[in-house]
Amino acid sequence: MAIEIRKPTFQSLKNIVIDLHKNRKLVYKKNNVSIYACNFLDNKSRFYIFKKKKKNFFIKIIKSNNLKIKEDIRISKFLKNKKVNVPKIYENTHFLPFFKRYLKPKETIVCYDLLEKMSIIREGDFFNLGKSLNFFHENMSHYNRKRIIKQNTIKRIKILKINLKLFISKSHKDELLKKIKKILVKEKNIFEQIDKWDFNCITHGDLVPSNLVKSKKKFYFIDFEDTSYSYFVKEFDISLIIERLILYNNKNNINKKKLLIKNLLNGYRNNNNKKFFKSIYLASVFNNIKSILSILNNYDANKKFVILELKKFIYLYNLINRNKKLLENFKNF
């Protein structure tokens, strides 16, 4: 099972609103239909907005055989039926004729409701964000392809373990790779520690700010590609939210960080007795080691985005360690 790396969304470390109306270009207009090409990810865009009268749709161009996207579509439809806040997915039959000119061989499109009136996640939102995440996890526990996601996760972890052993067994001249080796040698037992955990939850797997949308005071979860191999524990998703939305924000002092984490976890529990027995710190470390190893699987020193992604995860790994004491306070919370 090959491990794919994704081109970086540089917004993934920033608590900002992605404005779909800013970086767009009108490419088609006829009768009541307008099509705009979007360039909000700072790379060559394969995303479009399809407007028909007052209805707006978000169109993503994908490879026809992309198994992760197929699982994404299944999960989105399942969650929509369970009343979880996710964008509605439409059959592409109506839209496809308009996009044939933009498609390469073996490509097709996926069509979503366009979420509008997006706003920044603020201090008072963390309790409700925790509640929304709990509702997502509870519903995913009934997903009928849970066994397949668990199998995919086991396969992926096996590959990552092999990658770890191979990388630390070699010497590296590149300074960046030397830094990474130092981290991986320090964390070489991370899989043994994680293997002791009883994985019992389908997690989102990529809860970065760009995949959490606040629209009309509701929280929406988008992009379930990584969910297709993310059978872990709830702390994996929670640690990502804490890392990207709380710890990374330099405006948050230690007391503010404590308050926001407490609000998030209390919202997740929502007046029941669920406790966080797993280490949020260890989940955060594993998330970053997992990402580093996935990128190294496709390492190319000549590709700028690969270098940027590695530097990003080194930074996040160090950020987590600077906040280790704070995070460990919430074990058994």
Residue with tokens 């979007």: 38
- Ordered domains of the chain (ranges, CATH): 17-119 (3.30.200), 123-328 (3.90.1200.10)
pLDDT digits (tens), the chain, 333 positions: 333 334 434 445 555 555 666 678 899 999 899 999 887 555 455 889 999 988 999 999 999 988 899 999 999 999 999 999 999 999 999 999 999 888 999 999 999 999 876 677 888 899 999 999 999 999 999 999 999 999 999 999 999 999 999 999 999 999 999 999 999 999 999 999 999 999 999 999 999 888 888 887 889 999 999 999 999 999 999 999 999 999 998 888 999 999 999 999 999 998 777 778 889 999 999 999 999 999 998 777 677 778 888 999 999 999 999 999 999 999 888
